[in-house]
Structure 1
Amino acid sequence: MNIEQIYTGCLAQGAYYIESEGEVAIIDPLRETQPYIDKAKAENAQIKYVFETHFHADFVSGHIDLAKKTGATIVYGPNAKTSYDIYSAKDEEAFKLGKVTIKALHTPGHTLESTTYLLIDEQGKNHAIFTGDTLFLGDVGRPDLAIKQDLTKEDLAGMLFDSLRNKIMPLADDVIVYPAHGAGSACGKNLSKETVDTLGNQKKTNYALRADMSKEEFVAEVLDGILPPPQYFSKNAMLNKEGYAAFDSVLEKGNVPLDPEEFEALANHEGALVLDVRTQEEFVKEHIPNSIFIGLKGQFAPWVGALITDLQQPILLVVPEGKSEEAVTRLSRVGYDNTLGYLKGGMDQWKKSGKEVESITSIDANEFEKRYSPELSILDVRKPGEFDSTHLKTAMSLPLDFLSENMNKIDKDKEYYVHCAGGYRSVIAASILKARGFNNLIDIAGGYGALKNTDIPKTNFACPSSK
């Protein structure tokens, strides 16, 4: 038996490759399927099953393409209704994979079809659980994504309590827990940076698995502090349920080099968004007018999903050399399949062709400290919890997640200093504001991480200073 966790940091997502006696099961695969196929081929194995723990909201799974290419059976748990062929497992139904067994444990709560897969080894011993979004390390899945008219988030949280107590917690402490997500995912609120643990340790450390917890206490704690889900979650869940374009065709259409004239013509003709995925340092120095920055080196896909509201939005890319395929792939992972090409030769070629270039003023924390006065207008684009913990005393909270909805709160004629925690989100925010006509923007490089070491007055709600 061989188990491999295939973890993707940008999405904080874990897919799983399980092999026994030449038969393979893939759990929660990413959109691009060739790596799984190549791995099975290298091991002279055949992909037999694609197990889905639920209809994922934060990424588009590769289950449909993988089944078409390999003949594998797509397995969901009870209550899953799709527009394509699947096998809907019964609760506690067993599937043979070589010398091991995978048993479906229906664990509704995160969603109604949520299912945990229990791996039973060659000796008949419970070895591991693949919990999807039912159980994370340090947390559980949010129960507010699959609300229907006759169900509330409280109802789903109550189901999750029962699923954990009746299906997961009775398992032995040495059972290994393999979750679908780790820290950085918006599918929970307190996920661990670790990606593998034992169930026994989770029983000791995960607040949601406290043995003395009542259902009412569980519901209250699970729902406390949940932020609204990103706008793309419901759209990705629908793609996973109804189907999507083949990834190979998406890549073929999007990974096309365009010279500056072709690039500009397509932008104008198709109403395409110019998405610059280089580093923030490169973007502030020079960029195409009205382009938006979301860098590949940060949490690229989740921020694309949070900020670009139309999955069908035509997109043109400005990418680092050799990164076009990666950019198209990572866009497709969250359902953005309408990439039209990328700027061949990048900004150097754009400038050589005589095209216009713009920049954003960026200063470091030391320079900002020299300029600081209480009258300056400062925009803090971190999340509300980050701002509430500690912030510059005169800063205004304008979270990047909700920038478009709150843009009317700021004045196009005023000068604003913009910062986040480390410098990535502030440049995203500045690029969006600049494209909307806010031209008096100054980015603070290094963000609050650098500002906290200055003498600029701060408010710290977490640790109030004594007078």
Structure 2
Amino acid sequence: MYVEQLFTGCLAEMAYYIESNGEAAIIDPLRETTPYTDIANRRGAKIKYVFLTHFHADFVSGHLDLAKQTGATIVFGPNATTEFEIHSGKDGEEFQLGDIKLRLLHTPGHTMESSSYLLVDAAGETPYVFTGDALFIGDVGRPDLAVKSDLTEADLAGHLFDSLRNKLMVLPDETIVYPAHGAGSACGKNMSKETYDTLGHQKETNYALRANMTKEEFIKEVTTGLVAPPQYFPKNVGMNKGVNKSYDNILKDANRPLTVAEFKQIRESENALVMDVRHHHNFIKEHIKGSLFFGLDGGFAPWVGTLIEDLNTPILLVVPEGREEEAITRLSRVGYDNVKGFLNGGIKAWEQAGEEVDALMNMTPQEFAESITNHNVDILDVRKESEFYSEHIVNDKVVNSCLDRIMTGYKNLDKDKEYYVHCAGGYRSVIAISILKNLGFKGLVNVDEGFAGIKKCENIQTSAYVCPTTML
């Protein structure tokens, strides 16, 4: 028996490769199939099943491509309705895989089709359970992502309480919990950085598994403090229920080097979005006027999904050489399949052709500290509200407008003011400024290193208490 967890940091997502006696199964695959077929080919195994724990909201799954390439059967839990052929599993149903079995445990609550898969080895022991978004390490799945459901959040939370107590918590304490997501995913609110744990330890440490917790207490705790999910979540659910363009065709159409003239022609004729995915320091120094920044070296795909509303937006890439396929792949994982190509030669080719470039005003944390000490300046903090409330600059000219809601929050900002913009480390502030500049803001100054750098300045006072500031 062989089990491998495949972790993808940008999405904080875990897929699984399981193999026994030459037969393999994949649980919750990403859009591209090569990570899974490569392992199977290397180990001389045949992929027999593709198991889905539920209709994922935060990424588009590769189950269809994987099944077509390998002949594998796609398995969902009860209540799953799709536009393609699946095996609709039943609670307690077992799937033979070499010398082991995977037993479907219907665990509704996060969604109604949500299911976990319990590995039963040749000796009848249950060493692993793959819980999807029903049970995370340190948390449980949020109960507010079901699309077009007649059930309320409280109804779903009640189902989740029953699923946890009746299906998962009754397993042996030594069973290893393998979830679908970890810290950084928006599918939960309090996930641990660890990617697996024993069920027994989770019973001791996970707030949602307290032995003396009533259903009413559980419902209140898991539904309190939820923020609105990113706008692309329900769209990805819809894609996971349907038939989409294959990943190979997406890559074939998108991985095209474009001359400056071709790049400009597509931008103008299709009103394409120019997306610059280089490091934010490079974007600050120079970029194509009107382009938006979403750096590959940060939370790339989730931020694109949060802020670019139309999944069909035509996209032109400015990308570091050698990372073109990576950018296209990571966009496709969240449903952005309309990349038209990338600028061959990058920003240098653009400049050499005599085309206009732009830059951001930027300052060091110390320069920022001196400015707010000596001048009455406006400060725009684009971190999450929870980050802001935890600690922020003590200044009555601070406005908190989190990046998640910048597309609406900007309406409460003054386009004629100069704002010194910061986030936690310098990545999100550059995204925010690139968006605000396209919305007509001119006086925006990026604070390099963000709040982490600001805190190192001796003359900056910070507080964990709410000051007389504005929250947008």
TM-score tier (shorter): over 0.9
Cα distance, 1:269 vs structure 2: 0.6
Question: How far apart are the structure 2 equivalents of 1:70 and 1:265?
Answer: 40
| Residue 267 of structure 2: aligned partner | 267
Give yes or no for the alignment of 1:438 onto 2:441. Answer: yes
Match of residue 382 from structure 1: 383
Name the CA distance, whole Å, in 2 between partners of 1:286 and 1:129: 49
1:267-291: CA deviations, max 9, x gaps? Answer: 1111100000000100010000110
Distance apart, 1:148 and its partner CA:
4.1
Other-structure match for 2:431: 428
Quick one: distance in 2 between partners of 1:306 and 1:149?
A: 22
Give the alignment's TM-score, normalised by structure 2.
0.97
* Counterpart Cα distance in 1 of 2:419 and 2:387: 20
Q: Contact 1:158–1:219 (CA<8 Å) still a contact in 2?
A: yes
Deviation for aligned residue 1:360: 0.2
Residue correspondence of structure 1 range 125-136 to structure 2 within 5 A:
125-136=125-136
1:149 Cα offset (Å): 5.3
In 1, distance between residues paired with 2:229 and 2:343? 33
| Secondary structure, aligned partner of 2:127 | strand
Q: Distance in 1 between matches of 2:103 and 2:50?
A: 13
Q: What letter is aligned with 2:82?
A: T
Unaligned runs of 5+ in 1: none
Matches within 5 A, 1:71-82: 71-82=71-82
Aligned to 1:415: 418
Secondary structure of the residue that 2:367 maps to in structure 1?
helix
Distance 1:352 1:135 in 2: 54
Contact 1:147 1:153 in 2 (8 A): no
What does residue 405 of structure 1 align with?
A: 408
Give the partner amino acid of 2:176.
I
State the alpha-carbon separation in 2 of the partners of residues 245 and 32 from structure 1: 12
Q: What is the match of residue 328 of structure 2?
A: 328
Matches within 5 A, 1:183-202: 183-202=183-202
Cα offset for 1:375? 2.2
Give how far 1:462 is off: 9.1
By how many angstroms is 1:411 displaced? 1.3
Choose from 456, 460, 467 the match for 1:456.
460
Distance 1:308 1:266, change over 3 A: same
Residues of 1 paired with 2:48 and 2:148: CA distance? 34
Name the structure 2 match of 1:11.
11
**Residue identity in the other structure for 2:431:** I
- Counterpart code for 1:385: S
CA distance in 2, matches of 1:383, 1:116: 32
1:161 matched residue in structure 2: 161
Residue 51 (1) aligns with residue 57 (2): no
1:435: Cα distance to partner?
A: 1.4
In the alignment, residue 36 of structure 2 is paired with which amino acid? Y
Q: Aligned to 1:372, what secondary structure does the other structure show?
A: helix
How far apart, CA to CA, are the structure 2 residues paired with 1:235 and 1:375? 44
- Given the alignment of the two structures, is residue 100 of structure 1 paired with residue 104 of structure 2, yes or no? no
Give the AA of the match of 2:381. D
Amino acid at match of 2:447: I
Residue 127 of structure 1: CA displacement?
Answer: 1.2
TM-score by length of 1: 0.98
The residue type paired with residue 313 of structure 1 is: T
Distance in 2 of aligned mates of 1:41 and 1:157: 41
The 3 A distance-change label for structure 1 pair 33 and 147 is closer
Q: Indicate the residue corresponding to 1:248 in structure 2.
A: 248
Amino acid at match of 1:100: I
Pairing 1:391–2:392 present: yes
Q: Return the alpha-carbon distance in structure 1 between the equivalents of residues 450 and 145 of structure 2.
A: 32
Corresponding residue for residue 175 of structure 1:
175
Instruction: Report Cα offsets for 1:292-333 as digits up to 9, x if no partner.
Output: 001000010000100000000000000011110000000000
How do 1:285-364 residues align onto structure 2 when only pairs under 5 Å count? 285-364=285-364
Letter in 1 for 2:399: M
* Equivalent-residue separation in structure 2 for 1:243 and 1:162 (angstroms): 33
Instruction: Please state how far the C-alpha of 1:458 moved relative to its aligned partner.
Output: 2.5
The residue type paired with residue 388 of structure 2 is F
SS of 1:317 mapped into structure 2: strand
Distance across 1 between alignment mates of 2:377 and 2:56: 43
**Mapped partners of 2:150, 2:333: distance in 1:** 31
**Corresponding residue for 1:111?**
111
1:30-51 CA distance string (max 9 Å, x none): 1000221122112111000000
- Which amino acid in structure 1 is aligned with residue 462 of structure 2? K
The aligned counterpart of 2:450 is 447
What is the alpha-carbon distance in structure 1 between the residues aligned to residue 108 and residue 147 of structure 2?
A: 12
Q: Secondary structure at the match of 1:140?
A: coil
* Contact kept? 1:138, 1:202, Cα under 8 Å: yes
Q: Hey, what's the Cα distance between the residues in 2 that align with 1:438 and 1:243?
A: 41
1:150, CA displacement in angstroms? Answer: 2.7
Equivalent residue letter for 2:18: I
Equivalence for 1:138: 138
Identity level (%) = 59
AA at the equivalent of 2:192: S
Structure 1 residue 147: Cα displacement? 5.4
SS in 2 for 1:243: coil
Determine if contact 2:147/2:234 at 8 Å carries over to the other structure: no
- Deviation of 1:77 after TM superposition, in Å, equals 0.3
Q: Secondary structure at the match of 2:357?
A: coil
Return the letter of the residue paired with 1:22: G
1:289–1:435 CA contact under 8 A, matched in 2: no
Q: Alpha-carbon deviation of 1:236? A: 0.2
What is the identity, as a one-letter code, of the residue corresponding to 2:97?
A: L
Offset at 1:389?
Answer: 1.0
Q: Distance in 2 between matches of 1:319 and 1:413?
A: 32
Q: Deviations over 1:148-183 (max 9, x none)?
A: 453100000000000000000000000001000000
Q: Any idea what SS the aligned residue of 1:275 has?
A: strand
- CA shift in 2, pair 1:404/1:83, >3 Å: same
> Which one is further off, 253-262 or 366-375?
366-375
- Separation (CA, whole Å) in 1 of partners of 2:159 and 2:219: 10
By how many angstroms is 1:453 displaced? 2.2
Query: What SS is found at the alignment partner of 1:126?
Result: coil
1:30 aligns with 2:33: no
